[in-house]
């Protein structure tokens, strides 16, 4: 692991937070490695913020344990945990200048004035805001405020940085710039990042690993490409990217490949378990991994094929998006990179589609 | 068109005049040279100011009122600010109840409060003492402090305090470095109201100031009852000037805190 030792490891075991009868967090177990960029991804209300607030020490777990570097911190007040935190609305102190905001954690730690000024200057430079130290938060743009908040959270060299939807309030362009900047910062500092977002694209772009949360539980943890290629559940498949779902009936299992009947055809899918013959299952595949398979189509990899009717065709610049209907009525989406050389399909056209068995998952 | 535009301005002008005219009359009368209250004064002079500054009774009452009010400012601001901070942390249902309790002195007629205070204080020998006045006025002043500090607190993002804690500030450090500077305008306005509440208070003073602790409003009342002379106008003018200066200070301080 890059920068191992500089970042804290965090271990959540069976972590739980109940309010009256509802469980905001219902038993989360997760091991976050030293120096890792881990993202908690999930829809609104899935318990991401509550989990983060418990790690920071602002919420008390009603069950389970949080260990940082192997030591339980549940009984430790937030101001002694030495964790950097960036809030969604920045939470900059409005009555202090940018420099004093950044110097605040140093002052709490008794760092002398000269040393403090030097560290603040360095932090401002790192955030590309060298001339903004004397400004008050309201004199800074949203992106600049975000950078000051980030500088303030790392200037005291914590080994763990928590961020709760830090880019949520910014426009797309700025968000993408800051995403790259955060990746760079993560690589540079080598400390552990725990990042909360409901934006799957952001999670896929930035993270070493993603923990997908739903209903107060972790639905699946893994590297972005693993989660995308092999979603473990219908929820993960639909929340992370776009997915087609095909109802099917199991006809047999060959090694780790399940053979199923789907829309009158035989299709094959990757499957970790061993479903029984005759069982009703759901297969999933990504819209951009399906292709039209009439005309000059050839592939060496094992393919699944279905006949479909085009029900809608939308040209969206970089790609075309087709709505298809399979023989038994299941709706599917196909995304094709656009090219002047490729014939556009017309609504009502009947055709064949194909996609690789490796891109078909039983969920 | 111009009439339609001038009308609201005229209306506002009239209302302001209605509010300010009595003050102007009092101020003009205070510079009267007559031996009795009359308007307009036949001639001008400072004779009633010299009566005021030459009278031990008037000066003693002024001094008493000033330091009672100062003590009330300290007590009420401290208690009111702490109460507001505590209330903000209560669960919602309790918060409403606690606010209602603290605001009750504003809702119950002052005369009822005064009678209650009189009987209660009589038992502990507090009637006719400055301490009695300080306690009674503090009860009346606390609601104003709570209300204005509350309003300031409502405008503060609770995450600021969390941010301070996450950055290593102790709860007390976070209060003095973050929360207090941000609610300072509310605290100052509350303190000002506390001062005016006490300095201007008559009804409770009528009951409990006895003969040992005669406040300025109480002496003005007695003066009006037994003899009517322009001294009272001079005293009023001085009081008004003091109040305006205090208001101005609070306004400037508030502005600087907001800047
Ligand atoms: N103080 C609270 N009292 C009651 N319910 C709460 C409280 N805080 C959070 N919840 C509930 O817990 C669930 C998870 O909230 P949260 O962790 O904020 O989700 P997320 O950050 O993923 O959007 C939500 O359903 C929310 O309504
Ligand atoms: Mg949240």
**For position B258, what pLDDT does the model report?**
58
User: Confidence band (pLDDT; 50, 70, 90) for A1?
Assistant: very low
Q: What is the number of the ligand closest to the CA of A51?
A: 1
Residue B205 lies in a domain: yes
Q: What six digits make up the tokens of A143?
A: 């992106």
Give the separation between CA A269 and CA A238, rounded to whole angstroms: 17
pLDDT of the residue at B3 = 74
Mean pLDDT across A340-349: 88
Atom in ligand 1 nearest the alpha carbon of residue A19: 4
List the CATH number of the domain containing B236: 1.10.3720.10
Task: Point out the ligand 1 atom lying closest to the alpha carbon of residue A53.
Answer: 17
Tell me if B218 sits within 8 A of B57, measured CB to CB. no
Q: What is the pLDDT of residues A32-64, one digit of tens each?
A: 999 999 999 999 999 999 999 999 999 999 999
Report residue A146 CA to chain centroid gap.
20
Ligand 1 atom with minimal separation from the A44 CA: 23
A265: left (phi over 0), alpha (psi -120 to 50) or beta: beta
Q: Is A61 on the interface with B (CB under 8 A)?
A: no
| B159 in contact with chain A, both atoms CB, cutoff 8 A | yes
The pLDDT, as a whole number, for residue A297 is 63
- Residue B248 in any domain: the answer is yes
pLDDT bin (cut points 50, 70, 90) of residue A218 is very high
Residue B147 lies in a domain: yes
Q: Chain B: give the shortest CA distance to residue A154, in Å.
A: 10
CA dihedral B84, B90, B96, B99 (to 10 degrees): -20
Burial class (CB in 10 A: 0-12, 13-18, 19+), B78: middle
Residue B109 inside a domain? The answer is yes
Q: What is the pLDDT of residue A228?
A: 94
Here the ipTM equals 0.82
Question: What is the position in ligand 1's atom list of the atom closest to the CA of A20?
Answer: 4
Is B11 domain-assigned? no
Q: What is the pLDDT of residue A4?
A: 46
Q: Kindly give the distance from the C-alpha atom of residue A68 to the centroid of ligand 2, in angstroms, as a whole number.
A: 22
> Which pLDDT score is estimated for A336?
92
With an 8 Å Cβ cutoff, are B162 and A58 in contact? yes
Instruction: Give B140-197 pLDDT, tens digit per residue.
Output: 999 999 999 999 999 899 899 999 999 999 999 999 999 999 999 899 989 999 999 9
CB atoms B181 and A95 under 8 Å: yes
What distance in angstroms lies between residue A46's CA and the mean position of ligand 1's atoms?
8
The closest alpha carbon to A90, from A154, A37, A143, belongs to: A143
List alpha helices for A190-260, DSSP H.
200-206, 224-229, 234-239
Q: What's the distance, CA B142 to chain centroid? A: 11
Do the Cβ atoms of B167 and A153 come within 8 Å? yes
Residue in this structure with the two tokens 């009868």, named with its chain if needed:
A21
Domains along the sequence of chain A with CATH: 10-238 (3.40.50.300), 242-362 (2.40.50.100)
Q: Which residue, among A81, A111, A60, A149, has the nearest Cα to B170 in the 3D structure?
A: A81
- Ligand 1 binding residues, C-beta < 6 A: A 19, 22, 24, 42, 44-50
pLDDT at A3: 41
Q: How many CA atoms lie within 13 A of A2 on its CB side?
A: 10
**Residue spans of beta strands (DSSP E) within A35-114:** 37-41, 63-68, 71-72, 84-86
Q: Please judge whether B169 and A56 are an interchain contact, meaning their C-beta atoms are less than 8 angstroms apart.
A: no
Would you state the structure tokens that stand for residue A230, as one six-digit string?
């092999």
Q: At what angle do helices B56-88 and B231-258 cross, to 10 degrees?
A: 30
Question: Which residue in the set B163, B177, B257 is minimally distant from A87, CB to CB?
Answer: B163
Could you tell me the CA-to-CA distances from A69 to A57, A72, B131 in Å, in that order?
16, 8, 58
B10 inside domain: no
**In this structure, which ligand is nearest to the CA of A89?**
2
The pair of structure tokens assigned to B132 is: 């009695």
Q: What is the mean pLDDT of residues A255-270?
A: 88
Answer whether B162 sits within 8 Å of A93, measured CB to CB.
no
Chain B residues touching residue A83 (CB < 8 angstroms): 166
Closest ligand (CA of A42) = 1
Residue A178 pLDDT level (bands cut at 50, 70, 90): confident
Domain annotation covers residue B27? no
A93 and B163: CB-CB below 8 Å?
yes
How many independent structural domains does chain B possess?
Answer: 1
Nearest residue (by CA) to ligand 1, atom 25, is A45
- CA distance linking residue B136 with residue B148, whole number of Å: 20
Per-residue model confidence as pLDDT tens digits over A268-326? 998 877 888 888 999 999 999 999 987 666 666 778 989 999 999 999 888 999 999 99
Q: Which of A209, A217, A234 is nearest to A31 (CA)?
A: A209
Rounded CA-CA distance B130/B213 in Å is 6
Whether B48 maps to a domain, the answer reads no
Range of the domain at B216: 56-258
* A157 contact B CB<8A: no
Task: Catalogue the long-range contacts made by A227-232 (C-beta closer than 8 Å, 24 or more residues apart).
Answer: A228/A204, A228/A286, A229/A359, A229/A361, A230/A270, A230/A361, A231/A284, A231/A361, A231/A363, A232/A363
What residues form DSSP beta bridges with A37?
A: A193
Q: How far apart (Å, rounded) are the C-alpha atoms in residues A272 and A255?
A: 10
Q: Which residues of chain B have pLDDT under 50?
A: none
């Amino acid at each position: 692991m890059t920068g191992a030792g500089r970042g804290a490891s965090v271990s959540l075991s069976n972590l739980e937070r109940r309010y009256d009868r509802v469980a905001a967090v219902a038993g989360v177990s997760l091991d976050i490695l030293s120096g890792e960029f881990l993202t908690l991804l999930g829809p609104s209300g899935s318990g991401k913020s509550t989990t983060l607030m418990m790690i920071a020490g602002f919420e008390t777990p009603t069950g389970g344990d949080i260990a940082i570097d192997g030591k339980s911190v549940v009984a430790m007040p937030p101001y002694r945990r030495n964790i950097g935190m960036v809030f969604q609305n920045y939470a900059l102190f409005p009555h202090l200048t940018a420099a004093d905001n950044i110097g605040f954690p140093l002052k709490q730690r008794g760092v002398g004035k000269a040393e403090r000024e030097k560290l603040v200057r360095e932090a401002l430079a790192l955030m590309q805001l060298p001339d903004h130290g004397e400004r008050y938060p309201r004199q800074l743009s949203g992106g600049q405020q975000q950078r000051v908040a980030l500088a303030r959270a790392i200037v005291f060299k914590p080994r763990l940085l928590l961020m709760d939807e830090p880019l949520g309030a910014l426009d797309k362009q700025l968000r993408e710039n800051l995403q790259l900047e955060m990746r760079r910062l993560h690589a540079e500092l080598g400390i552990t990042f725990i990042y909360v977002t409901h934006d799957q694209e952001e999670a896929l772009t930035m993270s070493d690993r993603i923990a997908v949360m739903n209903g107060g539980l972790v639905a699946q943890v893994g590297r972005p490409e693993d989660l995308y290629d092999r979603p473990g559940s219908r929820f993960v498949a639909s929340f992370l990217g776009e997915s087609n779902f095909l109802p099917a009936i199991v006809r047999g299992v060959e090694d780790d490949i399940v053979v199923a009947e789907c829309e009158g055809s035989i299709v094959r899918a990757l499957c970790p378990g061993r479903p029984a013959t005759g069982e009703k299952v759901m297969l999933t595949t990504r819209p951009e991994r399906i292709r039209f398979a009439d005309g000059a189509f050839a592939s060496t990899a094992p393919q699944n094929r279905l006949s479909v009717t085009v029900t809608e065709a939308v040209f969206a610049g970089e790609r075309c998006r087709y709505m298809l209907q399979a023989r038994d009525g299941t709706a599917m989406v196909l995304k094709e990179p656009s090219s002047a050389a490729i014939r556009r399909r017309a609504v009502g056209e009947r055709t064949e589609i194909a996609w690789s068995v490796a891109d078909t998952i039983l969920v | 068109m111009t009439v339609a535009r001038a009308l609201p301005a005229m209306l506002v002008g009239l209302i302001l005049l209605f509010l300010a005219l009595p003050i102007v009359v009092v101020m003009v009368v205070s510079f009267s040279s007559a031996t009795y209250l009359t308007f307009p004064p036949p001639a001008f002079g400072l004779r009633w100011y010299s009566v005021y500054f030459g009278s031990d009774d008037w000066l003693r009452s002024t001094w008493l009122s000033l330091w009672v009010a100062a003590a009330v400012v300290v007590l009420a601001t401290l208690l009111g600010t702490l109460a507001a901070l505590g209330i903000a942390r209560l669960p919602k249902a309790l918060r409403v109840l606690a606010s209602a309790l603290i605001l009750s002195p504003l809702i119950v007629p002052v005369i009822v409060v005064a009678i209650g205070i009189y009987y209660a204080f009589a038992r502990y020998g507090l009637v006719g003492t400055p301490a009695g006045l300080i306690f009674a006025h503090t009860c009346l002043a606390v609601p104003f402090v709570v209300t204005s500090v509350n309003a300031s607190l409502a405008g503060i993002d609770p995450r600021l305090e969390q941010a301070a804690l996450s950055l290593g500030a102790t709860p007390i450090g976070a209060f003095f470095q973050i929360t207090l500077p941000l609610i300072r305008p509310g605290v100052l306005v509350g303190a000002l109201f506390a001062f005016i509440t006490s300095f201007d208070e008559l009804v409770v003073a009528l009951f409990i100031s006895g003969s040992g602790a005669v406040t300025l409003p109480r002496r003005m009342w007695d003066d009006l009852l037994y003899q009517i002379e322009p001294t009272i106008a001079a005293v009023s003018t001085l009081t008004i000037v003091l109040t305006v200066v205090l208001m101005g200070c609070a306004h400037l301080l508030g502005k600087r805190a907001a800047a």
